[in-house]
C-alpha cells in the first residue's frame, strides 16, 4: 500500500466512526482529555502573549472539539479571537463539527496541504491527528509556512513509550486490550480502535517528535506528558 492509499484508508475509517467519536473519546480517557486540551490552549495563549488574535486553525479538527476549548479559554484568558477555522480531510467528521460548532469556519483539507495563506495564522493546533498524517514532515513544514512569525503550534498526541517502567504492563494492557474492546463497543467499529494502539506503536517517541519540530523551524516552549506518558502536549513557536 502506497502513502496515498494508506492516507485514504485512514480518512475513510474516521468517516465511519464520526458519529460516535466524541463519546468514545470521553469514555476511553475517563474525561481527562478535556483537561489536557484546556492546558494546551492556556499555554499557547500565555506564551503568545497577545490579547487580540486574527486566526486560530485547528487541523485534523475531527468534530471540532478543540475549537470549543480555544473559544472558551480565550474568554478565560481575556483574549479576543477574530476567526476560528477547522480543517479536516474527513467529510463525515466535518458534518458533525458543523452541527456542533457554530462559530467556526470548516474546510475540507489535509495537514500537508493546508488551505491557509502564508503567515496568516497565530495558532495552529492538532490533537490526536499528527499520528494519522502519513506525510508528517511535510505537514510540520506547512504549519511553519502558514504561521505568522512567532506563531504557535500546539500538538496533543499519543506518543510511543520509549522506556519500560513499572507502569508499562498496565499501560500496554489498557492500550492493546481495553481500548480496542471499549472503543469497538461504543463505535461498533472494532477495527478502528484496533488501529489506534497499532498506530501509537508505529509512531514517534516524545524526543523524536521534538526533533522533527525543531528541524521544521520551531523552538520548543513547553512539553508535558499526561497519564503515565500515554499522551503528551507539545507547544512550539515559529522562529
Domain ranges of the chain: 3-160+204-238
**Residue-level pLDDT at 78:** 97
Matching residue, cell 468534530: 63
Is pLDDT above 70 for 163?
Answer: no
Express each pLDDT in 170-228 by its tens digit.
Answer: 777 777 777 778 777 777 887 877 877 777 777 788 999 999 999 999 999 999 998 77
CB 18 within 8 A of CB 24: no
Express each pLDDT in 22-78 by its tens digit.
Answer: 777 776 677 788 899 999 999 999 999 999 999 999 999 999 999 999 999 999 999
> For residue 6, what is its C-alpha cell?
494508506
Express each pLDDT in 79-116 by its tens digit.
Answer: 999 999 999 999 999 999 999 999 999 999 999 999 99
CATH topology of domain 3-160+204-238: Rossmann fold (3.40.50)
**Residue-level pLDDT at 72:** 98
Q: How many helices (H) and strands (E) does the chain have?
A: 10, 7
pTM of this structure: 0.86
Amino acid at each position: 500500500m502506497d502513502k496515498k492509499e494508506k492516507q485514504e484508508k485512514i480518512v475513510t475509517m474516521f468517516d465511519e466512526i464520526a458519529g460516535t467519536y466524541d463519546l468514545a473519546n470521553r469514555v476511553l480517557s475517563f474525561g481527562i482529555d478535556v483537561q489536557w486540551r484546556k492546558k494546551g490552549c492556556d499555554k499557547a495563549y500565555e506564551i503568545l502573549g497577545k490579547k487580540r488574535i486574527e486566526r486560530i486553525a485547528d487541523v485534523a479538527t475531527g468534530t471540532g472539539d478543540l475549537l470549543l476549548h480555544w473559544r472558551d479559554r480565550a474568554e478565560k484568558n481575556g483574549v479576543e479571537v477574530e476567526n476560528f477555522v477547522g480543517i479536516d480531510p474527513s467529510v463525515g467528521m466535518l458534518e458533525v463539527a458543523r452541527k456542533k460548532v457554530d462559530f467556526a469556519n470548516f474546510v475540507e483539507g489535509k495537514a500537508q496541504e493546508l488551505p491557509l495563506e502564508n503567515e496568516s495564522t497565530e495558532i495552529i493546533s492538532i490533537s490526536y491527528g499528527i499520528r494519522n498524517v502519513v506525510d508528517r514532515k511535510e505537514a510540520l513544514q506547512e504549519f511553519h509556512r502558514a504561521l505568522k512569525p512567532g506563531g504557535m503550534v500546539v500538538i496533543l498526541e499519543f506518543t510511543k513509550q520509549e522506556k519500560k517502567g513499572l507502569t508499562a504492563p498496565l499501560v500496554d494492557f489498557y492500550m492493546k486490550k481495553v481500548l480496542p474492546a471499549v472503543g469497538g463497543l461504543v463505535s461498533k467499529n472494532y477495527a478502528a480502535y484496533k488501529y489506534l494502539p497499532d498506530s501509537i506503536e508505529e509512531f514517534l517517541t516524545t524526543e523524536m517528535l521534538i526533533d522533527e519540530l525543531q528541524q521544521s523551524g520551531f523552538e520548543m516552549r513547553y512539553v508535558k506528558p499526561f497519564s503515565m506518558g500515554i499522551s503528551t502536549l507539545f507547544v512550539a513557536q515559529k522562529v
